Amino acid sequence: MIFLFILPFDKTTRDMQKITMPVLNFYGKYDHLVPPEACSLFTSRIGPKDKGDICFDTGHIGIYVSSQCQKEFAP
């Protein structure tokens, strides 16, 4: 199965299996803009073997403004 992503600014498509660099995907469990299901699906379908997810117990903005998340996210 080929996982394609359409770039909105020029309408080109990219095969996400061709990503070769390591990926660490951070997201919020209660994010209403980028649903957690979409984040984990993205990570499962990209190419590199060195990849992972970190899900914070917060929403979209909480990763940046929550003092608890800042302790875990930004050392």
Question: What residues contact residue 40 under an 8 Å CB cut-off, 6+ apart?
Answer: 53
Question: 73 near 45, Cβ under 8 Å?
Answer: no
Q: pLDDT tens-digit profile of 20-70?
A: 899 999 899 999 888 999 888 889 888 899 999 989 888 888 877 777 777
Query: When comparing pLDDT for 2 and 32, which is higher?
Result: 32
* Every domain of the chain and the residues it spans: 20-73
pTM of the full structure:
0.71
Q: Does 13 have pLDDT greater than 90?
A: no
CB atoms within 10 A of CB 28: 23
